[in-house]
A and B are shown apart, each in its own frame.
Chain A
Amino acid sequence: MTRIVIVGAGPAGINAAETLLAHGRQPILLDEGRQAGGQGYRKPSPGLRLDMNALMGSEASKYQALHERFESLRGQIDYRPGTLVWGIDGKTLHLQQDGRATTLDYDALVIATGAMDRIAPMPGWTLPGVFGLGGAQVALKDQGCFIGRRVAFLGSSPLLALAARQYRALGAEVVVIADTTPFVRKLAALPALLNSPRTLLRGLAYLGGAMRAGVPVLHGVTPLAVAGDGHVESLLIRDAKGRERRFACDAVALGYGLKPETQLAELAGAQLAYDEAFRLWLPQADADGRAGDGLYLAGDGMTIGGADAAEASGALAAHALLADLGIPSDAAAVAALRRRASRLRAFQRGLSQAFAWPVAQIRALPDDVTLCRCEKVSLGEIRQAMAQELGPTEVNRVKAMTRCGMGRCQGRICGPALQEIVAGVGNIAGAEAGRLRMQAPIKPVALAAAKAGAS
């Protein structure tokens, strides 16, 4: 029997598993996390009691539903939590589970690895107390703790208002929601946003709630600095009217939308192409998620679509896989899923303009700002390396010359900003700046795991 492996137990992976099971196939479902649910629908750690209704707000019922569906599924599939896929060699997955390196062969693979925060650096962003926006949510949902008592939310993302609402719902003080995209660009994106009026209204409601509670909500800001002596003490920005404003706070959550986790797709053989709207390299797949022979992509790991699109695309990928195995499935259901996924993705394209990646701001950052925090490489070092005789003009060579992107995170954090800097200095298109090439391990693997795996 064809061995089907799904990587990622978020909404996409769970829906893929459910669809496969409904058609008589039992997939193996791997997730690095200890609990299923993925990022948005993350469950509190066992033993931690959190008011998930208050936390999830209008999405509480979807959160409940997904976890209930998963519970009824888990006994019937081969679910392996705590299992990191760190590499792919041909049709063999390399795993790390309970501190041991093992392997797992597959015939068909569904990659539903989701996304992570996209970060733009700024002066002071490496100070303790600055978190990725997603990290701020993980701290809350997984551990029930705040990243600070008085938190500033900065970046350009609909999740800023969402996370701020979650923080307020559980009792933290939100000192500002500061968005770098000007208000007029949000208006310009309205037609695309009307693809999902419900989500649009929800986003507006979060902002309305914050404003009614007296939280300053600013658009079109320029981040100037996170300041503090050994720890965050304030956030300094320039507002749309050109005034400098300082907000006292003890933590900053930074987020510029999400960035698909494409490493496994790349190692499995998916082609990547540069997307001008998101300004990211995205794996290529057909409308149902086919990305190669026996290779299927779903959810935010393929292209940012949000949790609802992830659910639809997970089911779609499973239908595609079943069809390729010659197993008939419901054509009307597939057509409906396609319409739904495509509408939701069109909405996300609108979001990518309403909450734009601040290219000009990144390129204007001063030389002393750290770009790569793993290797402590500043923007000035990149510019200097590129300016010298026979200097590098493409991201992989810049990495070789400066170490930017060479550290623990392998450029997952600094990569998008590096791309903009290189394109800016070289005065070339984003795509021409190249793409940081991936080699396994996609996440660090301990020597001890290799030893334990061999015994």
Chain B
Amino acid sequence: MTRLSADVAIIGGGLIGVWSAYFLAKRGQRVVLLEKDVVGAQSSGTNFGNLRLQGRFPGQYPLSLRSQALWEQIETLIGDACEFEATGHLYFASSEDEWRKVEAYAAVSESHGLTIEHLDHVDLRRRYPWLSDKAYAATYSARDATANPRLVTPAVARAAKGLGVTIVETCRVTELRTGDGAFSLATDTGLSIDCGQVINCAGAWALAIAEQFSETAPLFPAGPPQFVTEPFPYFIRPSVQAVDGTVIFRQIPRGNVILAGYPRTAADPVANRAPVPLAKTLAAMRHLGAAVPALESCHVIRVWSGIEGYLPDMIPVIGPSLTTPGLFHAFGFCGHGFQIGPGVGLCLSELIVDGETQTPLAPFSIGRFTGAVEADEKFRREFDATPAAGNKP
């Protein structure tokens, strides 16, 4: 049996874990990061790659914008751009009703200093002639961006390792004990860790850890299905999203179009599976064809999904434990944790080293789940009512 000691132990080598490790190491902390599989193989490595600023939860803008500033310097920070590109993001409405909703989102974004262009039908025809003429109007934010999720987490992990972080893969944390202001962690490989503070950023698996400290949240796993086409001549620069949620897509410069659409499907974190029902593949294809008629001759070649933790109010838990000093939670990113990942890591490092952060995190407290839980308005139609039959295991 091996024992390690550290200032901070991080449970989970997703994007949240590796960025936390990186910023803590920069502040001189001794960090051990434990990952049950390999770093960046779960949500953080399978996501759509969107770094969207438009249409976020209003209370998240300070965090989001701080995070985007980190994304914008990613190459300086870790020595690898990971295909980061400020592609811009187009949010389109197909009716006047929808348009009111998009404009309301835009008003929030603008109040936080984001520059939003308002494009009416004529502007859309002129600027994006490939977009279906059923698109009524849209807003465009140039600062919204994309990056390659498959590359980012391992690249940040390497940078963190370069700063002295100990990264242990294929090592699952099974048990945590606390006493005298310190923690001791047991793992399934026999390795144990003594440390002063712990970050629980175990993604869709995080509840098992929180519950060891008598804390809970209505976390559930789901996977947004993703699809990709064969390469097609590059002509779609921004990420494009229908506000009704039927389709979101982007084209990468090598030509493939990546698309996704609601509703999300159930995922199984125990069997580690997130099957994509084929009816969804067909539905997503129809929605993309309707949005961009020129793509109709294009073929879908591959599909996948991931296992993401969701909460009914569609915002994450970020911040200190309310039962256990020294423990910090960051989980339940509800399908938008890629964009805020670096910011969350930075804030957690500040909470741990300075005891506070300039970024307001109050809305994300785990304490909000002590009373009755309010389901978000968008919530119901964005998830399958029943778990997917899926492909047989």
Report A's interface with B, CB cutoff 8 A.
87-90, 92, 94, 101, 267-269, 292, 388-392, 397, 400-401, 406-408, 410, 439-441, 444-451, 453-454
Contact = CB atoms under 8 A, between A and B. Distances in A.
- 6 A-B pairs with least C-beta separation: A444-B299, A450-B285, A269-B392, A447-B289, A450-B282, A448-B296
B282 A448 contact: no
Nearest to A376: B254
A400 B158 contact: no
B300 A445 contact: yes
A89 B390 contact: yes
Interface in B145-186: 150-151, 154, 157-158, 161, 167, 169
B375 interface: no
Given A90-B389, A389-B161, A447 B300 contact: yes
26 contacts: A87-B278, A87-B281, A89-B278, A90-B392, A92-B278, A267-B392, A292-B392, A390-B38, A390-B154, A390-B167, A400-B45, A401-B150, A406-B302, A408-B301, A410-B302, A439-B303, A441-B303, A445-B285, A446-B299, A447-B289, A447-B297, A448-B296, A451-B285, A451-B286, A451-B296, A454-B286
Contacts of A453: 282
Contacts of B41: 397, 400
Interface size class of B (residues with CB under 8 A): 35 or more
A453 B161 CA distance: 51
A89 B296 contact: no
Given A89-B389, A447-B299, A390 B157 contact: yes
Contact of B230 (A89, A388, A397, A408): A408
Contacts of B214: none
Contacts of B129: none
Contacts of B386: none
Given A90-B389, A94-B278, A444-B230, A451 B289 contact: yes
Contacts of B39: 390
Contacts of A268: 392
Nearest to B158: A389
A451 B390 CA distance: 22
Contacts of A88: 391
Given A406-B302, A410-B301, A410-B302, A89 B279 contact: yes
Given A269-B393, A447-B298, 20 more contacts: A89-B389, A90-B390, A90-B391, A92-B278, A390-B38, A390-B167, A397-B41, A400-B45, A401-B151, A440-B278, A445-B299, A446-B300, A447-B299, A447-B300, A448-B296, A450-B282, A450-B289, A451-B296, A453-B282, A454-B286
A407 B302 CA distance: 8
A90 B391 CA distance: 6
A390 B158 contact: yes
Contacts of B277: 89
Given A89-B277, A410-B301, A439-B302, A397 B286 contact: no
A440 B391 contact: yes
Contact of A407 (B282, B301, B390): B301
A94 B280 CA distance: 12
